[in-house]
Structure 1
Amino acid sequence: MTCSLTYDLVVSWDAELTALTERIAGPLFTRPEPRSTFPDLVRSLLADVPRKNCWQLADHIGHVKAYRFEHLLNGAKWNADALRDEVRSYVVEHLGRPDGVLIADDTSAIKKGDKSAGVARQYCGLTGQVENCQVMPMLTYASAAGHAFINRRLYLPESWANAPGRRKEAGIPDKVVFATKPALVIDMLTEEIAAGTPFRYLCGDSGYGRDPDLRAFCHEQEIGYVLAVPVDLPLIAVRGGGEPVGHLLDRLLAHGNSAVWERRSCGSGTKGVRLYDWAAVTTRPAEQAPAPGHAHTVLIRRSVSDPTDIEFFLAHAPIDTPVSELIKLAGLRWKIEENNEQSKDFLGLTQYQVRRWTPWHRHVTTVMLALAFLAVTQAALPPDIDEPSDQGKDQRARPKPP
């Protein structure tokens, strides 16, 4: 038996959103104007507004002008990191599990001009080529209950870090210096450890898996990980000697195809179960020993439909961790892709019209709160809920409530 979305259920979501935003706004703001405007901003970000800029959001919520939202982001006194801490607490309270996973990835916002903090001609993951854009390393928390962003950074290219005039104009604090994207992830992991965020593993793509400092941090902190790695990552084989990770495949294939591959699922996606052929080899990165009680394993993933499509993952996990568990962790990386897509398509993550450092953090963190509310509300849905038909509507993976 299934149950349908009811008026009472929708009303309860509205009440929960009001309680959440008012509870956060109370200590976050000292003045009544931003305290009352903040809930309006979160609510309008969650609404079906075509373009999530201040003017259209204000028009939707019933403000005569965009000034109140513009002042909230640009002029009011409040701390975006304090809001980030509230988002984390909310996510952990409702989605936190001892075996939680943190997932690192960066997303991009294509911009015009050169005034927005951190904007530069740089690689853009959105298009796969060099664009004039801002790059945002993000951190998602994922568990069996759901997944949502809990931390963020704005990448500052060296061209910005070493330009005092541009920094001042964009309001970039003096303490902010150039750091690589993996180094920014280390900073975020340090914050999560200090906050007591419950997690056992880190997942990420090869841009993070190839970084020896990030891996070393995880070894020192005894954090497990399953990270995609490039084909030329140097390894030490079990029997000694060095080789790039890509050579493992050639060596394994010499034993015959049937002895190498095992077809397994690494999770479900929008098109159903994700099935790949997998192989696993015990090894470790060159000059990097695992944490005590841990071991390194290389996972090799091959596409079922295209055997030339190969990806490598380096796992760092407690000894005797089943390979099946590592494969599932490799599949979790896509949860942050879902967060990126939903936040951009439905919550206006990159539709901001702010240029300075502080307003950027305020906007992005407010979007994080909106996404967290969706994730928590979805996790609380009855398991037998019968959703209305979406026939004829946009079939993208839109969050369910509110």
Structure 2
Amino acid sequence: MIRHGGRGMWGASIEATLELWASSLRDVKRRMRPLFAQARVALSAENFLEGLLGEERRKTGWMRAEAAGDPGPWRQQAILGRGRWDADALRDVVRDYALETLADDDAVFVVDETGFLKQGKASCGVARQYTGSAGKITNCQIGVFACYVTPRGHAFIDRELYLPKSWTDDPERMAKAHVPQEILDSASGGFATKPALARVMIERAIAAKVPFSFVAADTVYGVGEIETALRRAGKGYVLGVKSNDSFRSWGKPQAIAGTAKEIANGSPATAWRRLSAGAGTKGERFHDWAYLELADLDAGEYNEALAGQAWTRGLLIRRKIADGDLAFFTTWAPTGTSIERLANIEGHRWAIEDSFETTKNELGLDHNETRSWHGWRRHVSLVMLAFAMMAAIRVHANAVASPPKTMRRKATTPNSLQS
């Protein structure tokens, strides 16, 4: 995980980065150790984590076992299957650990899903369903994730496994995959839409007092219960919507009504502005944007504690420069929030795509070999911890590489001014 050359991972020297890596690994091991009742199980979990962080491209049980010096993958497999420990408790450890480095009141809470390609029918939640990971309908599991995004970095802080109706309508199949009895006995029988899973994670973050100002997500999550929940919580949002979703303004000088696509096509050239959605791997990501304010409302309508605060419901439209392709977003933000700010918030969704790519390519997010409900959650939570550790190291390495501002000012002051 450490790049070759005279400098380390993100600007610090190799020596400094190695020390950061070693101290961070000791720290995360210490944090997760109380989750395991037996020392040998804790040690296996620590070895599992080190295996995820290793240089092997495939993070299979055999690969991790070899890296840990085990004669076979049985200890590694036991961590995900037979062992007794709470994956949700580890999820909370990951969240708290990530926040120590990344916490920011203006953070964006990004929600998205990713697919885990599978063969057979036994893996919990597997079905023929669409996944953007493959760009088609295929046999896979779907996980819904929450990524905490700030200027300093980003990390996954929550996750849920989506269970299609083909699973929740079959209690025997659910039981064989060790789906907990309380889920089988719930009013929904275990079925929850992807937006419902996202809402659970948002509400969990709010209950844990995770600081963030906006939620960003694509069209799967754009209309319905998430909007209402966020308005009640006093949080803003930039959520994708479909081109045929209808919008109407009220209380505004210029009446607006129609589908999102109709409104976009009817917008004059003066309504569009070329703005960056933030930096990507190839530099600033410029698009043409239009923002239409639909109504100013008193947030007290949704939460009495917010009475007197004016918020604006709007429609944000993004147009690709190359081909004119359109994307649409329903927005809710404090009145006066600029189009630049909203475009930047939407651009934060790039971070979760980067996170999926990194964790799959480097940390084995999609290399889970278990079939059970618990196995998926445990594997994913351990990967989340490894990724959060990398995010923390990045922040600390950058801090080591950058001298304090006073030192930089002194170093650049002409000699004549220092005398």
Secondary structure of the residue aligned to 2:398 is coil
Deviation at 1:290, TM superposition (A): 7.6
User: Could you list the per-position Cα deviations for residues 10-38 of structure 1 after superposition, in whole angstroms to 9, with x for gaps in the alignment?
Assistant: 33123223322331233111101111111
The aligned residue for residue 393 of structure 1 is none
Return the letter of the residue paired with 2:390.
Answer: L
1:243 matches 2:258? yes
Query: 1:311 and 1:14 mapped to 2: Cα distance?
Result: 40
Secondary structure of the residue aligned to 2:162 is coil
The aligned residue for residue 243 of structure 2 is 231
Deviation at 1:182, TM superposition (A): 0.3
Which structure 1 segments of 5+ residues have no match? 387-402
Query: 1:10 and 1:385 mapped to 2: Cα distance?
Result: 10
Query: 2:102 and 2:389 mapped to 1: Cα distance?
Result: 11
The aligned residue for residue 37 of structure 2 is 30
The aligned residue for residue 162 of structure 2 is 155
The aligned residue for residue 269 of structure 1 is 280
1:171–1:356 contact (8 Å) kept in structure 2: yes
**Matched positions, count:** 377
Which runs of structure 2 are paired with 1:89-128 in the superposition (5 Å)? 89-128=96-135
Residue 303 to residue 316, structure 1, CA distance change in 2 (3 Å): same
Secondary structure of the residue aligned to 1:21 is helix
Secondary structure of the residue aligned to 2:365 is coil
Return the letter of the residue paired with 1:107.
Answer: T
- Choose from 313, 317, 340 the match for 1:296: 313
Deviation at 1:317, TM superposition (A): 0.4
Residue 243 to residue 290, structure 1, CA distance change in 2 (3 Å): farther
2:156–2:388 contact (8 Å) kept in structure 1: yes
Query: 2:271 and 2:28 mapped to 1: Cα distance?
Result: 53
The aligned residue for residue 53 of structure 1 is 60
Query: 1:276 and 1:360 mapped to 2: Cα distance?
Result: 38
User: Could you list the per-position Cα deviations for residues 277-311 of structure 1 after superposition, in whole angstroms to 9, with x for gaps in the alignment?
Assistant: 111111269xx9887521112111111222x3111
TM-score calculated relative to the size of structure 1: 0.89
Which structure 2 segments of 5+ residues have no match? 1-5, 184-189, 304-308, 403-419
Query: 1:377 and 1:266 mapped to 2: Cα distance?
Result: 26
Secondary structure of the residue aligned to 2:156 is strand
1:53–1:353 contact (8 Å) kept in structure 2: yes
Deviation at 1:87, TM superposition (A): 0.2
Residue 217 to residue 115, structure 1, CA distance change in 2 (3 Å): same
Deviation at 1:325, TM superposition (A): 0.8
1:21–1:39 contact (8 Å) kept in structure 2: no
RMSD value over aligned CA atoms?
2.1
User: Could you list the per-position Cα deviations for residues 35-72 of structure 1 after superposition, in whole angstroms to 9, with x for gaps in the alignment?
Assistant: 11111111110111121111111112221211111111
- Choose from 324, 346, 369 the match for 2:340: 324
- Choose from 198, 203, 206 the match for 1:193: 206
The aligned residue for residue 340 of structure 1 is 356
Which runs of structure 2 are paired with 1:72-87 in the superposition (5 Å)? 72-87=79-94
1:181 matches 2:188? no
Query: 1:372 and 1:384 mapped to 2: Cα distance?
Result: 18
Secondary structure of the residue aligned to 1:361 is helix
1:368 matches 2:380? no
The aligned residue for residue 4 of structure 1 is 7
1:290–1:316 contact (8 Å) kept in structure 2: no
Query: 1:93 and 1:23 mapped to 2: Cα distance?
Result: 15
1:21–1:38 contact (8 Å) kept in structure 2: no
The aligned residue for residue 252 of structure 1 is 267
1:352 matches 2:368? yes
Secondary structure of the residue aligned to 2:382 is helix
Query: 1:64 and 1:154 mapped to 2: Cα distance?
Result: 32
Secondary structure of the residue aligned to 1:165 is helix
Secondary structure of the residue aligned to 1:24 is helix
1:42–1:367 contact (8 Å) kept in structure 2: yes
TM-score calculated relative to the size of structure 2: 0.86
Query: 1:384 and 1:92 mapped to 2: Cα distance?
Result: 20
2:28–2:389 contact (8 Å) kept in structure 1: no
The aligned residue for residue 398 of structure 1 is none
Query: 1:232 and 1:129 mapped to 2: Cα distance?
Result: 22
Deviation at 1:114, TM superposition (A): 0.4
Return the letter of the residue paired with 1:303.
Answer: K
- Choose from 211, 225, 243 the match for 1:213: 225
1:290–1:296 contact (8 Å) kept in structure 2: no
Secondary structure of the residue aligned to 2:157 is strand
